[in-house]
Amino acid sequence: MTPHQTHLLTVHDLSREVMQSIFREAAQLKAMRRRALPTQRLSGKTLGLFFEKPSTRTRVSFETGMNQLGGQSLFLSVSDIQMRRGESISDTAKVLSRYLDGLVIRSYEHHTVEEWARNATIPVINGLTDLHHPCQVLADLFTVREKKRWLKGVKIAYVGDGNNVANSLLEGAAIMGMAISVACPSGYEPDASIVDWARERAHRTGAAIEILRDPFVAVKGADVLYTDVWTSMGQEKEQARRVKVLNPYQLNERLLASAKPDAIVMHCLPAHRGQEITTAVLDGPHSVILDQAENRLHVQKAILIRLLKDR
């Protein structure tokens, strides 16, 4: 998202400087919200949200963010528009570009959001695909920055399924010069091309990238412990097998005790308590999940301002 960049599809689209700028803007917006100061930066703008998948945090935070910035939003499900009857993404994107100022797309396959971006003449924001979750991870890193004061050199340990969140965390950590250890069973690793990209970028930023099997090795010396659901949307038929294979990767009190004493615990939610994380850890003193969820709102407002304000 350079000054000439229209869309936000992945974290690796961003430079360190752009990410830092988003974080500074988000911090200012959060402070203004705390003081009930108006931030009508997007007055007259309209954001469309097209979601193939259900959502709580992504939908509510984007809709609330546009409202707080003085704009408005329209929610579009696949059952509500003519794509249900076969209208193409290309035609839909071109028409919606005449009505709207920006689009958030929440889809299964990543190439779908790329097709929206190719055909739209307005900014397209990836609200989640099976491969990437950039808005989530930008909010996550903003939260780490709040709690630890900086990012460079901070160690994140991610345990569990190497899914879209793990992929985007690898990209963000590599860009910001962090250390990240991802522990997952064989066959559940993050995307190999993203791991390769992160390792290549790490050579320039001083980041450290590890893909491991043992969760206790991964969390040793960690400042941040992160996990996510073991069965993502669209994988429901694999749930029984996934629970069995991923059970040793549960984020519980024993695993937490192997990290730094002041480590924070993160989960992007929704959580399946008793599976990937225990209730004692999720609700415990190390957990920052509610701050993490709130920060989706502030970081996404910063993204919206960056992409939509001067259009």
Cα 62 from Cα 106, distance rounded (Å): 12
Catalytic residue among 228, 242, 267, 286: 228
Indicate which residue of 132, 296, 298, 306 is catalytic: 296
For 11-132+293-308, give the CATH class.
Answer: alpha beta
- Confidence check: pLDDT of 258 > 50: yes
Q: What's the first-to-final CA gap in the chain, in angstroms?
A: 14
Q: How confident is the model at residue 65 (pLDDT cuts 50, 70, 90)?
A: very high
User: CATH homologous superfamily for 137-288?
Assistant: Aspartate/ornithine carbamoyltransferase (3.40.50.1370)
pLDDT range class, residue 236, cuts 50, 70, 90: confident
135 catalytic per annotation: no
Query: Residue 296 catalytic?
Result: yes
What integer is the mean pLDDT of 33-41? 92
- CA-to-CA distance for 238 and 246, rounded, in angstroms? 12
Residue 1 has pLDDT above 60, yes or no: no
Confidence grade of residue 2 (pLDDT, cut at 50, 70, 90)? very low
Q: What is the structure's pLDDT at 190? A: 98
Of 136, 250, 275, 300, the catalytic one is: 136
Active-site residue 228, yes or no?
yes
Residues 305 and 310: their CA atoms lie apart, in Å, by 8
Region 59-64: what's the mean pLDDT? 98
- Cβ neighbors of 167 (< 8 A, separation 6 or more) are 131, 132, 133, 190, 191, 194
DSSP H stretches of helix in 149-258: 164-176, 192-205, 215-219, 239-246, 253-256
Q: Which of 7, 41, 57, 106 is catalytic?
A: 106
Percentage of the chain modeled with pLDDT above 70: 98
The answer to whether residue 283 is catalytic is: no
Q: Give the residue-averaged pLDDT of 112-129.
A: 98
Confirm if 198 and 209 have CB atoms less than 8 A apart: yes
Mean pLDDT within 179-206: 98
* Catalytic residue, candidates 191, 201, 268, 292: 268
Mean pLDDT, range 175-200, rounded to an integer: 98
| Lowest-pLDDT choice from 4-13, 57-66, 103-112, 269-278 | 4-13
> Is residue 216's pLDDT more than 50?
yes
Cβ 9 vs Cβ 132: under 8 Å: yes
Predicted local distance difference test score (pLDDT) of residue 231 = 87
pLDDT over 80 (residue 84): no
Q: Report, as an integer, the average pLDDT of 46-74.
A: 96
Q: Is 310 a catalytic residue?
A: no
Whether the CB-CB separation of 167 and 193 falls below 8 Å is answered with no
Q: How far apart are CA 94 and CA 273, in angstroms?
A: 42
Asked if pLDDT for residue 3 goes beyond 70, the answer is no
Domain boundaries, the chain: 11-132+293-308, 137-288
| Domains 11-132+293-308 and 137-288 equal at CATH topology level | yes
Lowest mean pLDDT among 74-83, 257-266, 287-296: 74-83
Catalytic-residue membership of 136: yes
Out of 133, 145, 242, 298, the active site residue is 133
